[in-house]
């Protein structure tokens, strides 16, 4: 199964006006799982994440804390970096929009758009939500001129600035989505995008004179670029746009942008239009996640209903949090989460089903076979159900459906548990062929289940492998035979939580 593909995946870059929270961690964890899955397939992977450090919102947070914007972003960006490390986010590059490399790319890319005639000077009056860093039409607002996302009042802003001729791209974008040249997962989001596009697009204001915390417009020093217009370009900075043609061509346009549904307009409409205007291909795929909700409301850094991701990591483990988020939400839809359900999922799936199966299998091999691993049996009809579930899991990861992939892994675990109950190796003599078959089958099933689980629970998956004497994951298919290893009893993979729901 030799594959020589490339997989470039990005997260949205995170605003540094506050600390990482469960909602932002969710974006990073989903992208990380997809990156890990593609590494496991043997793809060459580039996984990019980072921080969005310009704009009014950041300038205001710095002012509130009485420090310079640079000192503020340095502090918060490093908190994101260390949080991502605690959450086992295996990024290859962490971009910060205040880096020189990004300023240079923004200036090159936007100069290309300017020279192609898609940027013009004009005057703007509009209703602005600082939290979104976006202008709204009056018709989009809630009663009392409130932002539909933050439910806070918007303010009137007026300024002379440069406009991007977004309207010139309406038809072209419709064609790109209708023909599937830009893919969107889950697919139902395409209709939402086509809906915006068919209403017609208006030109957008892309520079500001009222703030200085941004990337300077190279042809007019009075202006800085609007934060969203600069932020999207991070996806090109990381692959050396305008700097290293070969590297750029290696990764672009086969990119997978992961984003939350609240920022779909920027990624599905503005961003491809900006690429077309600069004369490069649009991105090839958008992966749009839903929101994490607590008691039906979107969780955010300001909400009361916070679940702090790092305190979950410290109480349980990064694996426990990652597993719960990926297994209990359907990628693309909103998912309601709670600490009680997180603990219940840890106990039921990880400690009971997976952890116990590993412990029992190791204990039986130690007891009955003197610790010597039984060979993996040749595939027959008794093993077929396991292979069917494995293939479902592989397809699910390939289709960006983590909950289905993890469901398949747990299906393999449960099937293995039922084999143990059926063959009852503890009742049979050590040399019994059925018993040796059963333990060899379960050991191989656990190796393959660990492969399906590894994008979600990388640490525990290694724990499964090492307890069962596998030195590495090995091929993603049933592999009869195998070398004999000696197993010893080990600590439980997931110590059971004494009390659930508190
Ligand atoms: N800085 C912009 C993105 C620029 S990308 C060129 C931004 N940052 S953010 O920090 O506000 O959000 C980052 C991501 O976190 C978004 O995809 C957003 O959808 C996601 N989430 C924030 N809260 C969330 C939940 N409660 N649930 C799921 N994801 C949410 O937007």
For residues 213 and 93, membership in a common domain is answered with yes
Give residue 301 CA to ligand 1 midpoint distance, Å: 11
Ligand 1 atom closest to the CA of 261, numbered from 1: 19
Residues 39 and 151 in one domain: yes
The pLDDT of residue 256: 98
Ligand 1: centre distance to CA 291 (Å): 9
Q: How many domains does the chain have?
A: 2
Within a domain: 404: yes
- Residue 123 pLDDT class (50, 70, 90 cuts): confident
Q: Binning pLDDT at 50, 70 and 90, where does residue 92 land?
A: very high
Name the residue of 10, 11, 12 whose CB sits within 8 Å of the most ligand 1 atoms, as the mutation to test its pocket.
Answer: 12
Q: Whose CA is nearest to atom 14 of ligand 1?
A: 24
Same domain, 132 and 223: yes
Q: Is 366 in the same domain as 281?
A: no
309 and 353 co-located in one domain: no
Q: Is 478 part of any domain?
A: no
| Best probe residue, ligand 1, of 31, 260, 326 (max atoms within 8 Å of C-beta) | 260
**Helix (H), strand (E) at residue 163:** strand 155-164
Measured CA to CA, the distance from residue 467 to residue 209 in angstroms comes to 61
What separation in Å is there between the alpha carbon of 14 and the centre of ligand 1? 7
Contact 323, 345 (CB under 8 A): yes
Predicted confidence (pLDDT) per residue in 482-502, tens digit: 999 999 999 999 988 876 544
Separation between Cα atoms, residue 33 and residue 454, nearest integer Å: 8
Indicate whether 353 and 295 sit together in one domain: no
Q: Is residue 451 included in any domain, yes or no? A: yes
Which of the listed residues 293, 313, 333 is the one where a domain comes to its end? 313
**Interval 321-335: pLDDT, tens:** 999 999 999 999 999
Token pair recorded at residue 28: 């990073």
Give just the sign of the alpha carbon dihedral 156, 161, 165, 166: negative
DSSP secondary structure of 443-497: HHHHHHHHHHHTTT-HHHHHHHHHHTT-SS---SS---B----B------SSPPP
The predicted structure's pLDDT at residue 104: 97
CA distance 224 to 107: 11
- Cα separation, 13 vs 16, whole angstroms: 9
The share of the chain scoring above pLDDT 90, in percent, equals 87
Mean per-residue pLDDT of the chain = 94
Nearest CA to ligand 1 atom 7: 14
260 C-alpha to ligand 1 centroid (Å): 6
Assess whether 175 and 89 both reside in one domain.
Answer: yes
> For a pocket test of ligand 1, which of 9, 10, 14 has the largest count of ligand atoms closer than 8 A to its C-beta?
14
CA of 86 to the centre of ligand 1 (A): 19
Q: Counting atoms of ligand 1 from 1, which one is nearest the CA of 292? A: 27
Q: Which domain holds residue 239?
A: 6-313
| pLDDT tier at 399, thresholds 50, 70, 90 | very high
How far is residue 150's CA from residue 298's CA, in Å, rounded to a whole number? 10
In this prediction, residue 303 carries a pLDDT of 62
Tell me, what's the pLDDT at 391?
98
Tokens encoding 223: 């202006």
Tell me the pLDDT tens digit for each residue of 438-456.
999 999 999 999 999 999 9
Co-location of 73 and 198 in the same domain: yes
Please name the residue whose Cα sits nearest to atom 17 of ligand 1: 260
Q: Where residue 258 sits, what CATH number does that domain have?
A: 3.40.50.620
Residues with beta carbon inside 6 Å of ligand 1? 12-15, 23-24, 26-27, 52, 231-232, 259-260, 262-263, 291-292, 298-300
Which residues are within 8 A (CB) of 212 and not within 5 positions of it... i.e. 6 or more apart?
A: 224
User: What DSSP character marks residue 214?
Assistant: S
**CATH assignment of the domain containing 458:** 1.10.730.10
What is the pLDDT, as a whole number, of residue 410?
A: 98
Question: Could you read off the pLDDT of 53-90 as tens digits, one per residue?
Answer: 998 888 888 999 999 999 999 999 999 999 999 999 99
Residue 306 and residue 358 in one domain: no
For residue 9, the cross-strand partners are 47, 256
State whether 36 and 156 are in the same domain.
Answer: yes
Calculate how far, in angstroms, residue 24's C-alpha sits from the geometric centre of ligand 1: 6
Q: Are residues 410 and 305 in the same domain?
A: no
Do residues 279 and 384 both lie within one domain?
no
Q: Which of the listed residues 263, 283, 331 should we mutate to test ligand 1's pocket, taking the one with most ligand atoms within 8 A of CB?
A: 263
- Closest Cα to atom 5, ligand 1: which residue? 12
């Amino acid at each position: 199964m030799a594959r020589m593909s490339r997989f470039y995946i990005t997260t949205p870059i995170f605003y540094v006006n506050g600390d990482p929270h469960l909602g932002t961690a969710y974006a990073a964890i989903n992208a990380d799982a997809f990156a890990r899955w593609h590494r496991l397939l043997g793809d060459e992977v580039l996984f990019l994440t980072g921080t969005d450090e310009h704009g009014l919102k950041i300038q205001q947070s710095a002012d509130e804390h009485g420090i310079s914007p640079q000192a503020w972003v340095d502090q918060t960006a490093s908190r994101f970096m260390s949080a991502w490390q605690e959450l086992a986010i295996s990024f290859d590059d962490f971009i910060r929009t205040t880096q020189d490399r990004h300023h240079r790319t923004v200036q090159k890319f936007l100069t290309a758009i300017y020279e192609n005639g898609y940027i013009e000077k004009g005057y703007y009056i509009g209703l602005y939500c600082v939290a979104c860093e976006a202008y709204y039409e009056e018709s989009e607002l809630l009663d009392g001129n409130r932002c539909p996302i933050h439910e806070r009042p918007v303010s009137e802003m007026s300024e002379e600035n440069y406009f991007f001729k977004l309207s010139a791209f309406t038809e072209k974008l419709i064609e790109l989505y209708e023909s599937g040249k830009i893919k969107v997962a889950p697919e139902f989001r395409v209709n939402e995008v086509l809906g915006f596009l068919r209403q017609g697009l208006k030109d957008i204001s892309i520079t500001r004179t009222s703030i200085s915390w941004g990337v300077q417009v190279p042809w007019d020093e009075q202006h800085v670029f609007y934060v969203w217009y600069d932020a999207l370009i991070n996806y090109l900075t990381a692959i050396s746009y305008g700097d290293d043609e070969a590297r750029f061509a290696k990764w672009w346009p086969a990119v997978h942008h992961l984003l939350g549904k609240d920022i779909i307009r920027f990624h599905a409409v503005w961003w491809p239009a900006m690429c077309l205007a600069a004369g490069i291909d649009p991105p090839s795929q958008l992966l749009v996640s839903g929101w994490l909700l607590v008691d039906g409301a979107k969780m955010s850094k300001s909400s009361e209903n916070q679940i702090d991701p790092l305190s979950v990591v410290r109480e349980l483990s990064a694996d426990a949090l990652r597993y719960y988020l990926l297994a209990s939400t359907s990628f693309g839809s909103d998912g309601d989460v709670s600490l009680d359900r997180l603990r219940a999922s840890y106990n039921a799936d990880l400690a009971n089903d997976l952890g116990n199966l590993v412990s029992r299998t190791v204990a039986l091999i130690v007891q009955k076979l003197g610790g010597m691993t039984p060979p993996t049996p040749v595939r027959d009809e008794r093993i077929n159900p396991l292979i069917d579930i494995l293939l479902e899991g592989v397809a699910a990861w390939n289709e960006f459906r983590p909950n289905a992939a993890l469901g398949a892994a747990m299906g393999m675990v449960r099937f293995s548990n039922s084999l143990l109950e059926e063959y009852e190796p503890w009742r049979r003599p050590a040399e019994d062929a059925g018993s040796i078959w059963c333990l060899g089958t379960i050991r191989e099933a656990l190796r393959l289940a660990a492969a399906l689980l590894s994008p979600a629970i990388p640490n525990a998956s290694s724990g499964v492998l090492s307890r069962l004497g596998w030195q590495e994951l090995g091929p993603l298919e049933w592999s009869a035979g195998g070398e004999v290893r000696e197993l010893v009893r080990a600590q439980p993979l997931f110590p059971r939580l004494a009390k659930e729901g508190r």
